[in-house]
Amino acid sequence: MSFPPRRGGEEVRLAITDDRRWSRHVTQTSNALDLEEGVFTREDPREIALSLQRSAERSRRRKADPFRSAMSMLTFYINRAGRHLSAPQRARLEQAKDELRALYGRPRRGAPRQ
């Protein structure tokens, strides 16, 4: 991976090796949640949200409240998958965020605040 040249004209290179991939390390050693197998590949956004809710509420190792832990894990997955997510899968995961908000009584994205 390289970045645009600096003012002096030299190109900046960033070497990424398997042992330096922080997201893999976080996923494997995270103290946040123990997720159910295949949670992010489910077809129904509500099932994804319910699974994340179960995982967050069962966990005794999380540092934040269950809603924030579940939403953080979902956002982390979306951000790390990046352009490798298909448009339908990304849309499904974004819908899962709204389902998660609804499960915890939070306003859905784009909903007017009261």
pLDDT digits 0-9 by tens, 8-53: 555 545 555 555 666 666 666 666 678 888 999 999 999 999 999 9
pLDDT at 3 over 60: no
Residues 70-95: tens digit of each pLDDT: 999 999 899 988 888 999 999 999 99
The answer to whether 61 touches 31, Cβ cutoff 8 Å, is yes
Q: Where are the alpha helices (DSSP H) in 1-114?
A: 22-29, 45-58, 66-81, 87-103
Instruction: List residues bridging with 12 in a β-sheet.
Output: 3
Question: Side chain identity at 69, as an amino acid letter?
Answer: S
- Helix or strand holding residue 24 (H, E): helix 22-29
Q: Is the pTM of this model over 0.85?
A: no
Nearest-angstrom CA–CA distance, 24 and 30? 10
Closest Cα partner for 77 from 26, 113, 112, 31?
26
